[in-house]
A and B are shown apart, each in its own frame.
Chain A
């Protein structure tokens, strides 16, 4: 009798579970990400019937996470790693993580290697990559492939070499470090700090204006370009390729390609001139910057994400909170005397046109101007 009840209970549990599962199925489908192409369910799910409650997703949703921007800083990174999975065949590989991370900084940072770097903890390769190719997801290489692809994608690019010994030492041997003075032998050397030139002057074959002055620093400081924005597709081999011919002639199109990313619509004279040009000065725009404005970023006034253009000169355009009560005239470089400080703004600045010359003749008949007889004390600014 006991046995019978036990059995009946088990059967009913099975039925309930089965019913529940079938009821939940449609909900699960509704929240699934839209994925293009033919993908095996098993690539993301570990169980046969994933539901919304129990999606049984795998740890690494690599399909959607490839090359996501990393939110991690270099300081979090370990200095050095010991890769010793096959220590019985080769000596453990001493991977100088800090140096590689430093080089990655020149490009897309952590995500250059860590294609899956969620906030928090960056998982080590072996968390996702098993010893063998995942039979349920043949797209994902095993740990051997994962390591080698990371290392060799750069290492063979400049050396055109795939010798094992570059990383693996078969028996007791020297740790990996630079030997000799061979400039192409860059393994184990820290990358020197990359300097940013202030400007580059090019002598071009363009007759009407052979000189092109490129304000390199200006493009970084004024326009906020990152290195990769212009130096795209530059990797180790761009400088270190031992097989790259010394001089490569470029077509006119290739020469202009980088500039054309922004200056496509501009005329030749935008860059080409007969003599070297000075850098950009805000004076040229008719709005010489006062010492305060000189300090701030262009984008503090000019709208971001747009080509820089003329903006309204009204102070309230930026200083929205200024009014008669809280405005200290001294910031303009003129501290008003007591008499003038009592007056209304519009008494001197007719129609609130602050960029026009102030009007004195309403009170003074002697033909004075704000320049000849200032209505206060001119301030001495600290020099830039």
Chain B
């Protein structure tokens, strides 16, 4: 759908983390994703933008096989993580999701203490050898999510007692603590106020140093602020993919231009 020559030139400079080839998704009879090809780079923030119902979230959830839980969803094509097809029959989705973490639209801390929220992933995946190890992971993750100073004195209080922005950062810390290689974020700021949004965006920029971040967002300003690469989805198609600057300043597809100038969406 998009001009591959330009993106391939970019790709050559950095590692490809995820590559999708001819991905089709069907929900029952509905063809939700139509032949998407994309390459997502390591240590980069990639934004998926587009009007609602365009398939960006659906595609995001394909990457760590969250769609497996939906009975009527059917996926064709291949998505490779470091060259391995995540839909290979031998792949255990549990192991995949440990590598490809996810942050959701609505903050969803577990009804446990802050500490237990962050320690949840390391515990189930056995990342800590002992209690001190685990404490270290929790602290690092909370520091990484810029939450440590706010919660360090009340780690045993329930995570649900935090403010919305803090809850979302707690969820990010929870995902980071599992030491993922890719972090998927599905409109992580849509339930937050502007100040909290700013904090999360800053955080996303820092996370880029450790791993690849894919963020679905409704807000073009946000995409412009946080991402280096942007993919524009429309009606299940990946219309255009390229450097964020290029997409917002000189879009090549008329639909992209219509969207960023506010005519569709």
Partners in one complex: no
